[in-house]
Chains A and B, each alone.
Chain A
Amino acid sequence: MTDGSLRRLARSWLFLLALTGASVVAVRFGGAAAGASLVLGLAMLKARLVILDFMGLRGQAAMSRALLGWCLVLALGGAAKTIAVAMAVG
């Protein structure tokens, strides 16, 4: 199913590792709400790379959008939860 070249796959993998490192840095140095939002955004970027490059769904808009949609709904839920908790704490 993957349609990427070896070089593209390796590049995506390195980018995914960099995004994972950036997530840890964002949590350590960002505030609770800002850090969480940034981390969820980075997770969306990672999901996009896995779907398009690793799963090879670049040419299949409907399925790739549906999978990204699943990730997006949960990421937005996580962001909403963080905001709700921050507002409740004051």
Chain B
Amino acid sequence: MDMTVSTRAQEDEAPDAGDFLLWILVWSELAAFGILLVAFMVAGVVQADQFAAARLHLNAPLAALNTAVLLTSGWQAARAARPGATRGEARGALIVAALFGLLFVAIKLFEYRGEIGHTGDEAYGVFFELYFLLTGFHLLHVAFGALVLLLVSWRVGRANVVLITTLWHVFDLIWIVMFPLVYLA
């Protein structure tokens, strides 16, 4: 009996922001996306004309809408992770965060429909290959993260909520930097 209570208490104990493995995971994600973004920028200097021409085929307003969608999801994730949140509040906020994450995925896939035909076109250099690699890699993270948010909402535990919402904010952060570098700059 005591053992069960103790185990539950340990499971519910929230890792603090210095949780070592969590931050290793965060920084490995940031390193991977950082390398891809630097490669995209370097290619953008080498093939400046092709990248400028290719960028005209991107749907920046739709990507801006998707930024708002992901930020809304991040807001809900932050609501779920705040210390004062009850299990019910956390569950509801996690579900809403996941739904907005899935909406991001749907909008992005719709956006891809108008862009996928440009891959392999020499007029655009390597723009679309790198674009799909970069944004597709991020999209997979968001899709997987949204499913984990739903999973955690089913079994709400403080440590799990902190872990997935921290990662979710990192996906948010990556998109915030990626959006102007890919679509606008």
Contacts and interface: CB of A to CB of B under 8 A. Distances in A.
Interface of A: 1-6, 9-10, 12-13, 16-17, 20-21, 23-24, 27, 35-36, 39-40, 42-43, 46-47, 50-51, 53-57, 60, 63, 67, 70-71, 73-75, 77-79, 81-82, 84-85, 88-89
Contacts of B34: 70, 73-74
A85 to B, nearest CB: 4
Contacts of A10: 75
Contacts of A40: 180-181, 185
Given A3-B83, A13-B71, A50-B172, 8 more contacts: A1-B17, A1-B81, A2-B81, A13-B72, A13-B74, A54-B75, A55-B169, A75-B177
Given A23-B184, A27-B184, A36-B180, A81 B41 contact: yes
Given A13-B71, A43-B180, A74-B34, A57 B17 contact: yes
Contacts of B72: 13, 17
B184 A54 contact: no
Main secondary structure of the interface of A (DSSP, over half): helix
Given A1-B17, A1-B166, A43-B177, A85 B81 contact: no
B104 to A, nearest CB: 13
A81 B39 CA distance: 12
What 4 A-B pairs come out closest when comparing CB atoms? A13-B75, A54-B78, A36-B185, A78-B185
Interface size class of B (residues with CB under 8 A): 35 or more
A47 B177 contact: yes
Contacts of A85: 44-45, 48, 52
B173 A67 contact: yes
Given A20-B67, A53-B78, A56-B17, A78 B176 contact: no
B67 A56 contact: no
